[in-house]
Amino acid sequence: MKTTIDNKTIVKQVIDLKGPLKGKGGSLAQWLKDTQGRLQELYAEMEQLTLESRSIEGRAFAMYVYKLRDARQLRWRLATGKHATWNTVQQRLSDLAPGLAQWYRQAEDVAQILNHREQVLRYEEKTVKRLMTVGARPLRTKSYSSSVGQGVGGGRPAKMAA
């Protein structure tokens, strides 16, 4: 069985995200659809990792998907159902076979990457939705030459009397 950890396809190549803003990658709706698709793929990867961690016989802890509003995170839980930090899990690894302990360390690394990717994709989705409702507005900027010599207060500094 090929596991999430074994195939090492944790960090995938990200598509060109500037395309929609340059008019090359299609509309904002397509960008949103692509982002939501990548988010669903990521959720499937998270679920796969939890299934793998729960399939270990005689386990004292496993990884679960924690859901809070729209966010999902991979977190450790003890067999009793209580939440556990990585430090708690790590202290118990010395009681396990070296190969199994190494698997848990790799699972933690994968979980951290997946958690961060989930955050980034949710932010991207939120940004695209905001662009769809508000629209991309050009920024008003002053030219450099009009701001030279204006000082902090906005005007030229007063000349000092001799």
Question: Residue ranges of the domains in the chain?
Answer: 4-135
For position 12, what pLDDT does the model report? Answer: 47
Name the pTM for this structure: 0.68
pLDDT tier for residue 7 given thresholds of 50, 70 and 90: very low
Which residue is it, tokens 């839980």?
Answer: 77
pLDDT digits (tens, 9 = 90+) for 86-137: 999 999 998 888 989 999 999 999 999 999 999 999 999 999 988 888 765 6
For position 131, what pLDDT does the model report? Answer: 86
CA 3 to chain centroid:
21
For position 8, what pLDDT does the model report? Answer: 47
| Cα–Cα separations (whole angstroms), residue 107 to 60, 81, 143 | 15, 19, 52
More confident residue, 46 or 15: 46
Lowest mean pLDDT among 17-21, 83-87, 109-113: 17-21
